[in-house]
Amino acid sequence: MLISYFRRHCPGRACVMVAGSFLIVTLGFLPSSAAADTFDVPFVPTPPEVVERMLNMAEVGPSDRVIDLGSGDGRIAIAAVKDRAALSALGVDLNPVRVEEAKANAKDAGVSDRVEFRQEDLFDTDFSNATVLTMYLLPNVNMRLRPKVLDLAAGTRVVSHAFDMDDWESDDYARLGNRDVYMWVVPAKVAGAWQLDGPEGSLALDVEQTFQHLSGIAQTAKGHAMPVRGKLRGKEITLQIGDGNEARHYTGTVQADTMAANPATGNVVQGWRAVRR
């Protein structure tokens, strides 16, 4: 029944193979009630040490609003507020049995005032105010969520147990036994034309962006063109402009339509600023 469910929701051959291995690897963890699940993903709980690693990787702390999509028995959301003192946590699950179980677990853990569980389809969930998003879903579900995830505020951390986001490379990764944990930091959007001014002079930048990876061209006022390469981790940007001996390194922070140097030491350009052209 579960295999036919995966076939229906995950028609690609590779996806069926991955889902098949997922089921084989995790079947031993399935409680008997899971056999009756007919949701996008069956209930398979994340082991406690993996929950701990997910929350550590995302550096969950007192200012975080954590949302677990497909929250099962509530363990990730509960650990976020109980063990990491998150400001709040929300878990959504389509299965009412899981939601009741999660509420009871939150009560037992004494954190019902800071964690909410809702019966809801995760594809309908407004998670735009999350600072940390967690998931243990399936590759096709991750991919359906990906456009919405990429539209979250820059700097939002997204942690996934077991499954990646295809060509959106993770910013952090850990393997615990046979478990994979991936983390992405939603990158700021910087594609386009910029005017950069600093001690090295003025440059016109044309930036292309693929997820957190940047490339492009920088041109001096005299028309000298240099390659641009760079990377984003949320709002934090690093750029290398030029090659070889003429390469200059810039580190800074993006705020909407401006970028500015971070106070930094080392071999980086100081005191620069860029605005969109």
Ligand X SMILES: C[S@@+](CC[C@H](N)C(=O)[O-])C[C@H]1O[C@@H](n2cnc3c(N)ncnc32)[C@H](O)[C@@H]1O
Residues with Cβ < 8 Å from 174, sequence gap 6 or more? Answer: 53, 57, 180, 181
User: Can you tell me which of 68, 132, 188, 251 binds ligand X, judged by CB under 6 A?
Assistant: 68
How many residues make contact with ligand X (CB under 6 A)? 24
CB of 110 to ligand X, least distance (A): 20
Q: Residue 108, by phi and psi: left (phi above 0), alpha (psi -120 to 50) or beta? A: alpha
Candidate segments 87-95, 151-159, 174-182, 247-255, binder of ligand X by CB under 6 A: 87-95
Q: Which is nearer to ligand X, 36 or 247 (CB)?
A: 36
DSSP 18: H
Candidate segments 11-19, 88-96, 110-118, 164-172, binder of ligand X by CB under 6 A: 88-96
* Contact call for residue 101 and ligand X (CB under 6 A): no
- Greatest Cα-to-Cα distance within the chain, rounded to the nearest angstrom: 72
Q: Give residues 119-178 in contact with ligand X (rule: CB under 6 A).
A: 121-123, 136, 161
Q: Which is nearer to ligand X, 22 or 168 (CB)?
A: 22
CB 174 within 8 A of CB 185: no
User: Can you tell me which of 81, 86, 90, 92 binds ligand X, judged by CB under 6 A?
Assistant: 92
Q: What tokens appear for 127 in the block?
A: 């998670």
Q: What tokens appear for 267 in the block?
A: 């071999």
Residues with Cβ < 8 Å from 151, sequence gap 6 or more? Answer: 128
* Contact call for residue 22 and ligand X (CB under 6 A): no
Q: Which residues pair with 228 in a beta bridge?
A: 216, 241
* Contact call for residue 72 and ligand X (CB under 6 A): yes
- Contact residues toward ligand X (CB under 6 A) are 37, 39-41, 43-46, 68, 70-72, 75-76, 92-95, 98, 121-123, 136, 161
